[in-house]
Structure 1
């Protein structure tokens, strides 16, 4: 038997169901019907592995792998690009092989889902978005605060705001910083921060998902010019698209204290009627009306994330008969630095999901995944309110070698 090098990730994606959900275009009318289907469920209710494409992909390899998935009881696959991939991502060859997998799925009764990124996090299209739209990443995405007792600032594009502390609060002196240089006092200097470039992002950095036009560029490259070659199978053999960990946190990792985007000042002013710039210290220190400022700041970022990322993607899927699924990064609570309010994002997914990889119960931290009822209840509550019958969990990928049926349960 020919050895196939495609690594099958341990992450198993399980669609959760409710009693009255649709199964094969019908509704479950009784527990007896549920019991009969539970023993041999249709493909929509079976586990779906993340199928790693991480070498030279061939039709022969696809044939073998998909037949093995079918024999193991899987209901479908998410075609998941991973490091090691030799077949060029989003090339004509890539889409030919993806279509081959879709047709094989149609032949053997398995669903073939889109995984919409070259690894993760979703948004950069394997480097194509920043390559075609430099404004998607070059402006910086964070701010770092520095306090100076004697002002010494060489003004450049990296300086976002300079404040001087007064008896009444803070004064914005950004436009006259050269006149203030050398003077003593208490000065707050806010510099832009830039995520580092990485081969992971195709030699670029992650993109700013709340910068106008970035989501549309991503959809144009990945979906419209790409997977729409399989549009005839949308909503059928090809049920939908999985987004993995789209986030606004990346800037925080490079010494930033706060998230920033070029039109943040204007968007904040329009919503709340006051200037965020002179209130920036309240995001770091308990000064001024800091509780209100922090609420208004995170609410602004959330609304931009919903309006500029979630809504365009959701509308594309709705228009084209696709289910948008996947999950955000992370489900930690009460930190607001990843997605700000995941419930507000869940409702825009036709099949919202969570990430339950780790075999460790830690409800107070980011490691809390297996057994984290809060995250599951949060997901299900949002889905109920939005009228979404199906949800999804990416599960077991970080469970460790000691994982067994008990810990899985």
Structure 2
């Protein structure tokens, strides 16, 4: 039987999560104290790792344990070691028991949409429908005319002559006969796809099947509890493979660009004529398909059915990672009611990942930002390290935590599943409430008022697209795309870290989102709900036409434009002098190159900035506009290792959180 929602009841918890109460300044102390005593909306919601033979009574006991240590709820998440069949009648009985026990003890039960991760495959059931639904990847094999065979999965083939690391005299082949006629001085670039398991996350049809198998299944069983006892659902790291391919890609590419995708394939792998435009158009189409198919379908489904969609995309911390898994991170956050990120391991990384998600949340009026945090910190983790990592994320705009993770059992392989377990197995379990109370108070305070940052930094992902060499995807994710892209990523991360180190808070502006929601309004640049007075181009190589038009209007009305390094020389991958003309009146400066012995990461992976970068950036930004906040030592030197989160409260009050 399909349940219906009780809208009045739904508002009592879902709307409270999505619209935290704004407290008068005079009452903040009282509410701050109470958030640490109860404060359900500000407490952790860990992954409840279901990794054994699940028993409803034991689940109820563990729910009570989580309540005892000050947690607000849990995401019911199938993991390594699970014996109970996923989404079976027994599974649903276990979900029901947890929902019921959570209600009894004053907690919330949250759903998780997959068995393991990444989300999207419904535990392999989506791909069972056939190759159309399965993940596919694009490959290029350089062959001789003698070895080449036109195969069922061949997309295109080109005759070519080698030229160093690239090729020249490319000519598309119509079939095997033309290949057979080539002499041995030629090579053939053979483009084909391979099909894998999982799911094609760029296919609306495939993701619709995922929704039917998972989301609709939960709706049929527990729809009457959506928004009340079940506030929301977590989706985790939907991703394609490298280089992504979908049966829907050629048609959409033709529609977007007017070009046959097959004609442009050599440019994705090698630096042949026109490669920058080929790459821009390819990755832009991939991003559009992914965003529309995945979050673009699941987000509206959740709104319609009274759930908050939360979760995160994979490997958002680097430009290489974003291209490896989803094209660009920021557009995926717009359809989410509680945008999220993740922060794993005992280290502080570049702040890019957190700044991306908190920027979108602010621009689209989403006051809560979740972080899947503290996974993989090891069995020796203590409160000092947990506090250290969560405070750093709070300073960057996160205000809701999903601890990774609480294991149902440590039997069998479970004990090796990304330890530790933040659950009853820990010797410090009975003291855990102290930390949860502390984080709840901070999370409450950092939902009050509004962030004050009025600087927008144009996100560099579009420039990264033009650099990504598809022929260089060996090794780990952060080595994909070639040395030039890796160096570009490192420079962009340093600019992000340096802005925060000199206490110039900012938001990123994703160019796809700017095209939809950006406008110039006098000397202010508007994105969604936020107004900016300074726009920075951080060593961009390529820029969208829509962004350039916005910047032209902004500059014409007296807006402050800042160009770090030279102006972009490409418009959507095509060489152009127009950006230099539009930016001729902007404030220009360059950052110094890194010395050869500069080490980018410090202890525990904490990011560092070259001193020359900090000095130059601060001096130049001080010329452009006075800072709202300065943190200096007794000598007047900026204290770069302290991050600041500044918020405006009613009545002209300011709230500043320092870490």
DSSP 3-state at the match of 1:393: strand
Counterpart position of 1:328: 313
> Which whole-Å deviations, capped at 9, do the CAs of 1:26-58 have from their partners, x for residues lacking one?
433333354233322422211111111111212
**Closer, same or farther: CA 192–103 of 1 in aligned 2, 3 Å:** same
Residue of structure 1 aligned with 2:159, choices 157, 164, 176: 164
Residue of structure 2 aligned with 1:239, choices 220, 224, 231: 231
Alignment of 1:324-403 (within 5 A): 324-335=309-320, 336-361=323-348, 368=349, 372-403=350-381
Alignment of 1:39-58 (within 5 A): 39-58=36-55
Residue of structure 2 aligned with 1:68, choices 65, 68, 73: 65
Residue of structure 1 aligned with 2:265, choices 248, 260, 280: 280
> Which whole-Å deviations, capped at 9, do the CAs of 1:125-175 have from their partners, x for residues lacking one?
1122222455311xx6112112234353222212121112389853321x3
Q: Distance in 1 between matches of 2:180 and 2:97?
A: 65
* TM-score, normalised with respect to structure 2: 0.52
> Which whole-Å deviations, capped at 9, do the CAs of 1:275-320 have from their partners, x for residues lacking one?
2212211111111122221111111000000111111100100101
DSSP 3-state at the match of 2:175: helix
Q: Distance in 1 between matches of 2:122 and 2:297?
A: 16
Equivalenced residue count is 360
Deviation at 1:238, TM superposition (A): 0.2
> Which whole-Å deviations, capped at 9, do the CAs of 1:239-296 have from their partners, x for residues lacking one?
11101111113xx3xxxxx211113222112111222212211111111122221111
- Could you tell me which runs of 5 or more consecutive residues in structure 2 were left unpaired when the two chains were aligned: 1-16, 162-166, 389-659
1:147 aligns with 2:142: yes
Q: Distance in 1 between matches of 2:249 and 2:212?
A: 25
DSSP 3-state at the match of 1:331: coil
Do the aligned residues in 2 keep the contact of 1:21 with 1:28 (CA within 8 Å)?
A: no
1:35 aligns with 2:37: no
**Closer, same or farther: CA 304–169 of 1 in aligned 2, 3 Å:** farther
Do the aligned residues in 2 keep the contact of 1:22 with 1:28 (CA within 8 Å)?
A: no
DSSP 3-state at the match of 1:121: coil
Q: Distance in 1 between matches of 2:340 and 2:249?
A: 29
DSSP 3-state at the match of 1:329: coil
Q: Distance in 2 between matches of 1:180 and 1:134?
A: 28
**Closer, same or farther: CA 292–320 of 1 in aligned 2, 3 Å:** same
Q: Distance in 2 between matches of 1:38 and 1:212?
A: 42
Deviation at 1:230, TM superposition (A): 0.8
1:109 aligns with 2:96: no
**Closer, same or farther: CA 343–53 of 1 in aligned 2, 3 Å:** same
1:212 aligns with 2:204: yes
**Closer, same or farther: CA 134–94 of 1 in aligned 2, 3 Å:** farther
* TM-score, normalised with respect to structure 1: 0.83
Q: Distance in 2 between matches of 1:405 and 1:356?
A: 16
Do the aligned residues in 2 keep the contact of 1:163 with 1:278 (CA within 8 Å)?
A: no
Please report the RMSD computed on the Cα atoms of aligned residues, expressed in angstroms.
2.1
Q: Distance in 2 between matches of 1:90 and 1:59?
A: 15
- Please tell me whether Structure 1 or Structure 2 has the larger radius of gyration of its CA atoms: 2
Counterpart position of 2:118: 121
Q: Distance in 1 between matches of 2:262 and 2:223?
A: 46
